[in-house]
């Protein structure tokens, strides 16, 4: 696939170079020194380093959905306006007929590749597909977080944050061959070490994570949740709770949550979900939403059912954030990536603007990312993504193996991080 993209990229680029032989096109084959020399001869530096031109820009953080250009200078968004001249920019990303968004934010992934057995490498699955910022949801606990910071967060191109697992071992015990989770022995749930590790790493850790399924916590779920509650309260950060197939019923779990907490796997088709036996949204779930508890999708290999989402949507219960729960068990289906997950919500009737809001502005409100995350406001760090909205038909599959006919599909075409184009973009780049 990357080979194909590579080829495609060069094909497009060659077309542009042969079609438009003018000064900016020639400059790209010279060295950086020659470029600045030419600029000097031309009578001054260009105003912008990069121009994302001709796309439909959707940025819910500033209620923007319009055909405008995005100009970037020194890694920051410098200007958003219609018809910014190409001659003002050193490099142009041609986004005509494309959707341009802030770099997407996925609040539930597993990228502790090599330590948590289900972990995946972040870059080919996240930033290469339009997701510039991710939150690893509990792959690391207090004992394994220093390694996560050193060998993942500091090394990869994707901006990686974490929710620290209340179990000191994180998700290192759990694999398909050893499906026994981190809270089966409650002695591994250690609020003191969790609090200490968070206090030392507030730049990376944005909250506490706990998984409550029977194969992770057994009958310990409510006691473990109490310990996670204690840690989250002590550091003043939100708690993300993984539901579905729990020993205790959901209302007992929700009763322990507070404003700002997140419930992930909200459309699970398993026992312990948000619907009662007659497919009505539980009153406890409505109360939780009224109290400012956020529903997060966390699609995953077993945690997103079209049926549950359809029933909930019909009763007005939409998610606060849309996340993928990407890990080894689902990158080859049914999740694939965040863009595919978003396409499923387009099918469910959510507008493109409201889908994008749930992976940009809403995550930025839910967790304490640096300001400007999930936004293209002037002055923000210039993280952006370019997508094609391709018309189907294509077959979508959920975690239960149920299929739906998709009409629209978002396809990642290019990613910009801090003003630099990441990897081999599929859309033409020239300059
Ligand atoms: Zn997960």
pLDDT digits (tens, 9 = 90+) for 337-383: 999 999 999 999 999 999 999 999 999 999 999 999 999 999 999 99
Are the C-beta atoms of 115 and 135 separated by less than 8 Å? no
Cβ-based neighbours of 316, under 8 Å, separated by 6 or more: none
The mean of the pLDDT values for the chain is 91
- Expressed in angstroms and rounded, the spacing between residue 374 Cα and the centre of ligand 1 is 21
pLDDT of residue 41 exceeding 80, the answer is no
Please give the model's pTM, rounded to 2 decimal places: 0.90
Contacts with 7 (C-beta within 8 Å, 6 or more apart), sequence order: none
Q: What is the pLDDT of residue 430?
A: 86
CA of 300 to the centre of ligand 1 (A): 7
Ligand 1 centroid–CA 292 distance in Å is 22
pLDDT at 392: 84
CA of 23 to the centre of ligand 1 (A): 50
**Cβ proximity of 78 and 418 under 8 Å:** no
Q: Which pLDDT value is given to residue 44?
A: 53
Alpha-carbon distance of 142 to 121, in angstroms, equals 21
- Do 183 and 194 meet the contact criterion of CB atoms below 8 Å apart? no
| Residue 103 DSSP symbol | P
Distance CA 141, CA 188 (A): 10
Give Cβ neighbours of residue 274 (< 8 Å, ≥ 6 apart): 250, 266, 267, 268, 281, 282, 285, 295, 308, 312, 317
Cα–ligand 1 centroid distance for 377 (angstroms): 31
Q: Percentage of residues in the chain with pLDDT exceeding 70?
A: 90
Ligand 1 centroid, distance to 4 Cα (angstroms): 31
CA of residue 240 to ligand 1 center, whole Å: 10
Query: Which residue from 321, 319, 322, 309 is spatially nearest to 348, judged by alpha carbons?
Result: 309
- List the alpha helices (DSSP H) in 84-203: 122-125, 145-148, 191-200
Over residues 82-110, mean pLDDT: 97
Rounded distance between C-alpha atoms, residue 363 and residue 104, angstroms: 9
Decide which of 7 and 52 is more confident: 52
Q: What is the largest CA-CA distance in the chain?
A: 75
The C-alpha angle with vertex 126 and arms to 343 and 318, in degrees rounded to 5, equals 40
């Amino acid at each position: 696939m990357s080979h194909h993209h590579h080829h495609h990229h060069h094909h497009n680029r060659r077309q542009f170079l042969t079609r438009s032989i003018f000064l900016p096109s020639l400059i790209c084959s010279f060295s950086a020194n020659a470029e600045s020399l030419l600029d000097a001869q031309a009578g001054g530096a260009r105003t912008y380093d990069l121009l994302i031109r001709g796309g439909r820009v959707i940025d819910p953080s500033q209620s923007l959905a319009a055909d405008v250009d995005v100009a970037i200078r020194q890694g920051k968004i410098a200007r958003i306006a219609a018809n910014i001249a190409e001659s003002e920019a050193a490099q142009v990303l041609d986004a005509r007929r494309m959707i341009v968004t802030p770099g997407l934010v996925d609040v539930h992934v597993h990228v502790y590749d090599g330590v948590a057995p289900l972990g995946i490498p972040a870059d080919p699955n996240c930033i290469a597909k339009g997701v510039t910022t991710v939150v690893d949801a509990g792959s690391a606990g207090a004992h394994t977080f220093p390694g996560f910071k050193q060998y993942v967060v500091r090394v990869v191109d994707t901006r990686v944050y974490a929710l620290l697992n209340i179990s000191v071992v994180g998700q290192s015990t759990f694999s398909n061959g050893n499906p026994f989770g981190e809270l089966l022995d409650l002695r591994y749930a250690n609020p003191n070490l969790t609090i200490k590790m968070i206090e030392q790493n507030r730049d990376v850790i944005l909250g506490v994570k706990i998984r409550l399924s029977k194969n992770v916590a057994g009958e310990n779920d409510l006691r473990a949740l109490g310990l996670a509650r204690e840690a989250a309260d002590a550091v003043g950060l939100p708690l993300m709770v993984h539901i579905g197939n729990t020993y205790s019923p959901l209302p007992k779990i929700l009763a322990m949550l507070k404003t700002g907490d997140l419930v992930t796997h909200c459309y699970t088709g398993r026992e312990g979900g948000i619907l009662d036996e007659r497919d009505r949204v539980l009153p406890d779930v409505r109360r939780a939403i009224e109290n400012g508890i956020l529903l997060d999708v966390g699609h995953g290999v077993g945690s997103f059912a079209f049926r549950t989402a359809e029933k909930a949507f019909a009763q007005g219960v939409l998610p606060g954030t849309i996340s993928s729960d990407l890990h080894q068990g689902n990158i080859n289906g049914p999740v694939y990536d965040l863009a595919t997950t978003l396409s499923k919500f387009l099918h469910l009737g959510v507008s493109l603007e409201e889908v994008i809001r749930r992976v940009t502005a809403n995550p930025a409100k839910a967790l304490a990312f640096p300001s400007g995350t999930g936004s293209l406001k002037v002055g923000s760090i210039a993280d952006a993504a370019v997508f094609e909205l391709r018309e189907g038909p294509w077959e979508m599959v959920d975690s239960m193996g149920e299929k739906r006919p998709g009409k629209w599909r978002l396809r990642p075409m290019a990613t910009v991080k801090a003003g630099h184009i990441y990897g081999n973009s599929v859309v033409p780049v020239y300059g």
